[in-house]
């Protein structure tokens, strides 16, 4: 259980809103962090681990042309995955992770390139671009933590009436 997951679930529950997750490189780590939090079932609808590129299109509705032209490691893919999770799982909020944990580059992107996204009920979403350091496990852990931090930021910002959307870049790892 992470502090980000616990606080995001607390805010979602207070608002009577729900969350769905779409994961690629994190392979279920985000859902595991969320469900490790007592009472998660009050706000968490479920998750889709779409590791294979074609599943992003088939299960989450990511545009096939976008995937063919840009590959799965792309900020718009992350946004569409988050939106697709909301739709597929009937949630108010959707979050998503896509990227390269290694050991090899993917879709022309170097190891450590990650995009995390959040899509809420009243916005067009937000993507954070991450450039992470460390081994595969470090990159996956930091990606999971970062998407939950982005959700928490959006929940807190919306609560305060803050509707700014911007890309951010982080350097993490050990």
**Distance, CA of 158 to CA of 133 (rounded, Å):** 31
Phi-psi region at 46: left, alpha or beta (left = phi > 0; alpha = psi -120 to 50): left
Could you give the number of structural domains in the chain? 1
Residue 45 sits in a domain of what CATH number? 3.90.950.20
Give the rounded percent of residues in the chain with a pLDDT score beyond 70: 90
In tens, the pLDDT along 129-173 reads: 999 999 999 999 999 999 999 999 999 986 544 333 333 444 444
60 three-class SS? helix
Residue 127 near residue 158, CB atoms below 8 Å: no
Write down the pLDDT at residue 174: 39
Question: What is the extent of the structural domain holding 79?
Answer: 3-170
Average pLDDT value for residue range 82-109: 97
> Which of 30-39, 82-91, 98-107, 159-168 is predicted with the least confidence, judged by mean pLDDT?
159-168
Phi-psi region at 105: left, alpha or beta (left = phi > 0; alpha = psi -120 to 50): beta
């Amino acid at each position: 259980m992470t502090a980000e997951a616990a606080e995001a679930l607390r805010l979602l529950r207070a608002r009577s809103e729900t969350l769905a997750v779409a994961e690629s490189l994190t392979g279920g780590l985000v859902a595991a962090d969320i469900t490790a939090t007592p009472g998660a079932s009050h706000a968490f609808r479920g998750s889709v681990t779409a590791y294979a590129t074609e599943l992003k299109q088939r299960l989450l509705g990511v545009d096939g042309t976008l995937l063919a032209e840009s590959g799965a490691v792309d900020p718009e893919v992350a946004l569409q995955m988050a939106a697709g999770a909301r739709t597929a799982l009937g949630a108010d909020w959707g979050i998503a992770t896509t990227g390269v944990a290694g050991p090899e580059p993917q879709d022309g992107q170097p190891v450590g390139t990650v995009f995390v996204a959040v899509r809420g009920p009243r916005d067009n979403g937000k993507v954070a671009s991450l450039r992470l350091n460390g081994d595969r496990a470090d990159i996956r852990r930091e990606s999971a933590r970062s998407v939950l931090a982005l959700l928490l930021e959006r929940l807190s910002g919306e609560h305060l009436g803050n509707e700014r959307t911007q890309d951010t870049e982080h350097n993490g790892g050990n």
